[in-house]
Amino acid sequence: MILAIDIGNTGIILGFYEKDQRVFDFSISSVPHRTADEYGMIFRLWCTQNRIGAALEGCVISCVVPPLKRPVEQAVKEVFGCPVLFVGHGIKTGLNIRVDNQTDVGSDIVANMVAASGKYSGPVAVVDFGTATTLSAVNQAGELIGVAIMPGVQVSLRALASSAAALPDISIGIPGRVLGKNTEESMLSGFVLGAAAMVDGMLKRLKAEMGVDTMTVIACGTLADRIVPHCDTRIEIWPHLTLDGLVKIYLLNQRKRSGRLRTDI
C-alpha cells in the first residue's frame, strides 16, 4: 500500500492506494504549530477507526507549507515506518516543465498535471480551487507551459468580510440569481458566479494564446463542485487529482530506482 499526502495551506489530505487505486482517504486542517507527535496521534486514530492496518511500502508527499514538512514526515515515519518521497527538484515526473524556474512551480501543480496529462492526450488544463485558484496547462507536446495564480474564493471572501464592516463571512452555496435581493444572495452571486466567469474568461484567453480550438479542462480542489456547475466551459471534476498524480510520481521513481526506467524527462 502507498500513502499519498497533499499538504496545502488550508488542509492536509491523505490517500491510501493499492498500486494506483485509491482505497481510502481523509483530510485534516493544516495547523503549523502541531508537533510530529500530534500529527502521529491523528494518523493513528484515523487508521484505527477505518481499519487501515496494511503495511505501507512508501509515502509520497507534496508540501507547499514549509513549516509542516518536517513534522508530517516524522509522523509518517513513526506511525508507518516507511520511506518518504517529497516531490521536488530532482524527482522524476515525466513532465517537461517549460518555465523560467522549475522550483517556482508548486509540487501540487506538478502532481495535478502528471495525473491529467497521463489520462488525456493533447492540450490539457487544470483549474485547482484551493487556497489560491490556479490554472495550469500542458500543450500538445506534453510540456507544462506555465501557471496562473488567482485569489482563492474563500480567501477573497474572508478578506472582504474582514475589510467591510457591513458584509458578513458567509458559507459558499448556490446563488439564486445574478443580482441578489439581500446581502447574502448578493455575495453568493458575486463570489460563485464571478469565479465561474473568471475561469471561463481565463480558459478562453489560454486557448487563444495556445492557438487551439479545443482543450480538455479538469477541475479539483475543495470548491470545484460549487464553482464548476456555473461555468460555461465543459470541465470535468476530478476530486482526487493531486493524490492520483502523487502516486504516479511515486511509481515512476520506484521504476527508476529498480533500473527499469533509464531516461530523463
Beta pairing, strands 84-86 & 58-63: parallel
Residue for grid cell 487505486:
21
Rama region for 129: left / alpha / beta (φ>0; ψ in -120 to 50; rest): beta
Instruction: Check: CB of residue 223 under 8 Å from CB of residue 129.
Output: yes
Nearest CA to 66 out of 38, 90, 39, 86 is that of: 86
108 is annotated as an active-site residue: yes
**Cell of residue 107, nine digits:** 509540487
| 247 vs 236: CA distance, rounded Å | 20
CA distance to 36, 62, 77, 152, per residue, from 85 (Å) = 17, 9, 11, 28
Alpha carbon 252 to chain centroid, angstroms: 19
Instruction: Check: CB of residue 168 under 8 Å from CB of residue 160.
Output: no
Nearest CA to 29 out of 86, 68, 82 is that of: 68
CA distance to 2, 82, 245, per residue, from 22 (Å) = 9, 18, 11
* Burial environment of residue 7 by CB neighbours within 10 A (0 to 12, 13 to 18, 19 or more): buried
Active-site residue, from 20, 25, 108, 264: 108
Instruction: Check: CB of residue 41 under 8 Å from CB of residue 259.
Output: no
Catalytic residues: 108
